[in-house]
Amino acid sequence: MSAAPLVGYSSSGSEDESEDGMRTRPGDGSHRSGQTPLPRQRFPVPDSVLNMFPGTEEGSEDDSTKHGGRVRTFPHERGNWATHIYIPYEAKEEFLDLLDVLLPHAQTYVPRLVRMEAFHLSLSQSVVLRHHWILPFVQALKTRMASFQRTFIGLEVTSGHAQFLDLVSEVDRVMEEFDLTTFYQDPSFHLSLAWCVGDARLQLEGQCLQELQAIVNGFEDAEVLLRMHTEQVRCKSGNKFFSMPLK
C-alpha cells in the first residue's frame, strides 16, 4: 500500500485579519444663519498621530509585500472578520524531515515555492463575519461538532473521507444559518505542504508530482508518520481562535 498521494492545486483563500480600528469623524458642517459655509477640507492625519494607533483604518494598507505577495479576495472593511474552520496538524520531526526532502525537489520545478508555516486541513472556505456574529457562530459550530469522533488523515485523505464529509456537512449548516458561503462540492481533503504566488499547476503536474510521490513512497515509515490523530476542530476569526473538541 502506498503512502498518501500528493496533489497540486490552486487556492483562492484570503488573508486572515481582525478589525479593531476606528475612523476619524468629519465635522458636522454646521454654520451660523446667513453666513456662507466654509468649504469642507479634510486635512491629512500627521504621521506622529497615526503611529499612536497602528490598527486604525486611517493607517491601514493592503500591502501584499507584508504577507508574501498574497492578495485578499475580498477587501478589508470596518467590522468584518475573515473566518476559517479547519483541523490543525501538529507536525512532528519525522514529518518535517520528509518535507525537507520534498520541498527542495519541488523547487527545481517551481523555485518560488515556500514551505507552509503551519499545517491544517480545511473544512470551510474563508468567509466574512461581522464582529457581533462571532460568538453565536462559534457556539453553533460547537453544537454541531459535539457528536463527532476523532480520526486519522494523511497528505490527501484516502480513508475516512465519508467522516470528513459529515463534518463539512455540519459546518455548511452553520454557514447557511448565517447566510455564508458553504464549502466546495465534492471536496478533496488534503494537508498543504507549500505554497507560491500565482498558478503553478502546469509545472507541478505530471513528472514533478510523480517524482515527489516516489520520494514519499520510499520514505521510511511514511504511512505511519503521515497519519494524524485529530482531536479538535478550530475556528479562526480575525486574531481570535476557538476550539471544538471531538470525542
| Residues tagged active-site | 120, 190
Which of these, 120, 194, 205, 158, lies nearest to 4 by C-alpha position? 158
State the cell numbers at 211: 517524482
State the cell numbers at 171: 459546518
Q: What is the rounded distance in angstroms from the CA atom of residue 54 to the CA atom of residue 246?
A: 38
Element at 122 (helix H, strand E):
strand 119-122
Q: How far is C-alpha 10 from the chain's CA centre?
A: 13
What residue type is 121 in one-letter code? L
Residues contacting 234, CB < 8 A, separation 6+: 85, 86, 87, 88, 120, 241, 242, 243, 244
